[in-house]
Amino acid sequence: MNAKRLLALPAILAMVAGSLLADPNPALTVQEVTTKDADAYVAMIAKINALVKARTGIEHYRHVWEGDFAGENSHSLFVVTQYASAAEIYQVQEKLKNYPEMDLLLEQLKGMRHLGPSTLYKSVRNEGVYDGGAVFNTSVVCSDEDGYLKTLDALKAIFDANGFKDARVSLWHASAGRATATHLAVISLPSQMRVAELLDAFVDKALLKDWYPSAAKVRTTIGNGTYHEITK
């Protein structure tokens, strides 16, 4: 199998216990990974999820995604993990110390993947994603976050009024490690088919004809793509 680049979105994130660190906005990391055996890597993530649940109680710690029509990331894999804040990653790491079974899996991972750049995101609008679903992601440079949030509210209203009430709209701010884009906009739907139907509506029905000019005032699109979850 050819080497596949994986975006691992394992966590540097999450829930904070202390009141001084309390943060209502979830966090997410994007960790680029290269592997020669994607199937084995996906299977390893499933084993890690089981161990994390046993030790911490966290359900479905990492989610594996694959790029569909995603430019250079097409057919690449991604591992996504979300927590309540950026701080809990270290709390989770503490809980996973002195855990022989986990140490063994992590040692095996070293032989099957290479870690690339990592980016930390913080949520500014979060409607979540569907387990086993699909997404249309857009990387943007945003000049007015509050203004962009208003345009996303308008976008959600357009979806609701045109047969896409199941579309979930989220926005993530690149807090650390970013290269170009300042934000990642995520439109989540239950299936690849629903994402495709939405993309058809963008063009065939000119669904966003009036929305694009308002969005262009506060953002510049860097790139976009579709992805679906393949977690075992």
> Fold match between 4-122 and 123-229?
yes
The average confidence (pLDDT) of the chain is 87
Identify the pLDDT of residue 2. Answer: 43
> 120 — phi, psi (to 5°)?
-100, 125
pLDDT recorded at residue 4: 47
Q: Which one-letter DSSP state was computed for residue 7?
A: E
pLDDT of residue 30: 76
CATH topology assigned to domain 4-122: Alpha-Beta Plaits (3.30.70)
CA atoms within 13 A on the CB side of 174: 18
Which amino acid appears at position 220 of this protein? T
pLDDT in tens, 177-228: 888 999 999 999 999 999 999 999 999 999 999 999 999 999 999 999 999 9
52 is written with which tokens? 């994390």
Which helix (H) or strand (E) covers residue 186, if one does?
strand 183-189
3-state secondary structure of 89: helix
Please state, in angstroms and rounded to a whole number, the distance separating the CA atoms of residues 61 and 43.
Answer: 14
pLDDT for res 117 = 77
DSSP state, 71?
G
**What is the pLDDT, as a whole number, of residue 90?**
83
Q: Give the right CATH number for 123-229 from 3.40.50.970, 3.30.70.1350, 3.50.30.50, 3.30.70.100.
A: 3.30.70.100
Domain positions in the chain are 4-122, 123-229
Regions in the chain scoring below 70 on pLDDT: 1-23
pLDDT given for residue 89 in this prediction: 78
- 57's torsion region: left (phi>0), alpha (psi -120 to 50) or beta? left
CA distance to 1, 106, 137, 142, per residue, from 156 (Å)? 40, 41, 15, 18
